[in-house]
Every structure is written in structure tokens, then in C-alpha cells.
Amino acid sequence: MEATEQIRLDLTQAMRSGEKERVGALRLVLSELQKDSKEGDGDELAVLRRERKRRLEAADAYRDGGRDDLAATEQAEAEIIAGYLPAELSDEQLREIVGAAVSDSGASTPQQMGAAMKAAMAAVDGRADGRRVSVLVREALGA
């Protein structure tokens, strides 16, 4: 089942059970998915990752501004969205993928990090945050 279809079903269920916060988050995500579909991209996982990242960044900004109530709302929405994404890679799995990507790209110095990151991010395929990958690539290159 596509993510859009699953979100529609979950939205209907959330509306029936009166979960206002979940309904709001699912409506926003569904709107973004539909907008992306009309524009022709159709990459649901990319939209979900982007929306999750936006919520997490907003939560951090609200925390920095002393608005923990709004940060909690954004964090909850990010968790709802994360439920539609593939499972994150464990640290061990990520280290293996990054190690293979670094050796495959031929990168050996911190100046070649771009090539290693490109290969690693392609191999990760959205199952890990870019920050985690970046830290491990730097570590592998001795930066």
C-alpha cells in the first residue's frame, strides 16, 4: 500500500476517534503528498523525510526560543510522520555501509569527503539522517 493511501486511512480513523493533533499532522502531510504528486515527482518517501525534517528543525527552533509547548507539538508531528518511513539503520549497519562507500569511492582524505558522502547517501537511501552519515564519513576519513 502506498503511503498516501495509508495516511488517508489513518486520517479517517483519527477523525473517528477524535485525535485532533494526529488529524492535523496527517492533513498537512497528505496535502504535501498530493501537491508533490501533482507536480510530477511522486517520491512519497522524499516528501515524508522532508516534512519530518521540517518538524524536527521547528521543534529545535521553538526550544531555543523557550517555547517548549510548541516544540512538543512539532516533535509529536515528526514522530507521527516517522511512522510512515522505513526503519532507521542501526549504528552498526550504518558503519558498514559508510565503510563500503568510502572504499568504493576511493576517498582517503578529508578533502575527498564529498565523493564519499555521495556514495554513502546513495547506499543509505534515506534510512539514516545525513548528519549521522556525515559524522561517520568524517570519522572514516580521519577528519
All structural domains of the chain: 3-82 (1.10.1510.10), 91-141 (1.10.10)
The pLDDT assigned to 122 comes to: 84
pLDDT, tens digit, 9 for 90 and up, residues 12-68: 999 999 999 999 999 999 999 888 888 877 678 888 888 999 999 999 999 999 999
Query: Looking at residue 126, what is its pLDDT?
Result: 75
Q: Encode 117-135: b = buried (16+ Cβ within 10 Å), e = exposed.
A: bebbbebbebbbbeeebbe
CA–CA gap between residue 93 and residue 62 (Å, rounded): 32
- List alpha helices for the chain, DSSP H: 3-17, 20-39, 44-64, 68-82, 91-105, 113-124, 130-141
Least confident residue range of 3-17, 20-34, 64-78, 107-121: 107-121
